[in-house]
Amino acid sequence: MTDTMYRGCAIVDHATRSLAPDMAVLVSEGRIGWLGPADEAPNLGFGVEVVDAGGTTAVAGMVDAHSHLTLPGGSHWIDRAADPTDRLLAVAEDNARLLSQAGVRWARDVGAPVRDGRALSLTVRERWRGRAGYPYVRAAGCWVARTGSLPSGLPVEVEDGDGLLAAALDQLDAGADLVKLYMDGPDRDTSPFSAAEVRRVVEAVHARGATVTAHSSLLPGAREAVAAGVDALEHGFRLDTDVAQAMAAQGTALVATLAVMESWASFAATTRLPRFASAEGQVALAERREAAHESVRLAYAAGVLIAAGTDFGGGSLRANQLAWEIETLVAAGLEPYDALAAATVNGGRLLGEPGAGVLAEGGPADFLLVHGDPLSDPGSLWRVWRTSWWPG
């Protein structure tokens, strides 16, 4: 394998939270062999391919912390979960290419349809393992929900705390890396499970070395899940100060998926679906969007670890749109440095993978080169020129 020197790119200096221009990154044997100012780069003679990376910023391979690999997204995203198995597996292959081209190196899958008794995300994870250019996957298996919370046939449905515990452990038996509980119930004003019921799941799953995350778009479920000590909340569209402070104190992460609502807003023009296109639908969405942005601001102010996800497939985004979430986090009030951290290093911390989302000497050579400065212009993350693993 030839060594490659990427010469002249900027990199993010984490000490100053600013860009260091005109740097160089040496890739050797799949690792970062050297990283520093371009004019101090070692002269390696003919044994190295030099890439003129002038005008780009090298960004650590991104982590999409909330994804659904087997589903395509779009305005009919829920319908697509009923597609035939072969179709869903082909969609996953498309998504691998889209993720790779968009600079996403890691995907955390938080729910997949079950086929032949097993969540398809687990099949996909196993197919992709060790394949050059494919994203690294951590997968939750299937959603576990109280009956009536989601369209029937999609989640594993349970009636009570005993059922919740059994279904959670079933996911681990099937090979899931983490467990995803659905904490919005059939009744919007009531949590589907109590903190005590969820805590039994958290303790049992932790005892097996895995983690528990909770889908939460409403406050009652967020309260119970956080009181139970879950490892993360997905979406967290309705938080209050008490919940945000409890999350920060105990280390519960927030996986933000704000761009879903930007996508829905665009459907007012591109579809005739009443939920998006009607006047009432647009008013309801605007209110929901404002509450979600306020929730992220509360978490940010409290010091919660914020990771970024697209919710592609399980929501309406597509697999190559993580940049949209970073832009939306900035619009909600995060500093661009922190929004980029949400899509890189914080995703790695959420996964418990210290090399994920980090660009450092000695670490994995997983980075993308974007045209521009992501710290003043998050839109530059749409302008991926190349990735260190491309074409893979």
Interface with Zn ion by CB under 5 A: which residues? 311, 314
Taking the least distance from each CB to Zn ion, the nearer of 56 and 257 is 257
Compute the distance between CA of residue 289 and CA of residue 295 in angstroms, rounded to an integer: 10
Bridging pattern class, strands 104-109 and 48-52: unpaired
**Least Cβ distance, residue 299 to Zn ion (angstroms):** 18
How many CB atoms within 10 Å of residue 20? 16
* Position with the least CB separation from Zn ion: 314
**Least Cβ distance, residue 255 to Zn ion (angstroms):** 9
Q: What SS3 state is found at 376? A: coil
**Least Cβ distance, residue 362 to Zn ion (angstroms):** 34
Cβ contacts of residue 60 below 8 Å, gap of 6+? 344, 345, 357, 358, 359, 366, 367
Taking the least distance from each CB to Zn ion, the nearer of 108 and 349 is 108
| CA angle in degrees (0–180, nearest 5) for 102-119-231 | 70
Q: What SS3 state is found at 234? A: strand
Taking the least distance from each CB to Zn ion, the nearer of 33 and 314 is 314
Token digits of residue 70 = 């087997």
> How big is the chain by its Cα radius of gyration, in Å?
21
**Least Cβ distance, residue 264 to Zn ion (angstroms):** 14
Taking the least distance from each CB to Zn ion, the nearer of 7 and 235 is 235
**Least Cβ distance, residue 182 to Zn ion (angstroms):** 10
Taking the least distance from each CB to Zn ion, the nearer of 157 and 311 is 311
Phi and psi at 69, nearest 5°, equal -65, -25
Residue from 196, 224, 225 nearest 211 by CA: 225
**Least Cβ distance, residue 66 to Zn ion (angstroms):** 6
Taking the least distance from each CB to Zn ion, the nearer of 7 and 238 is 238
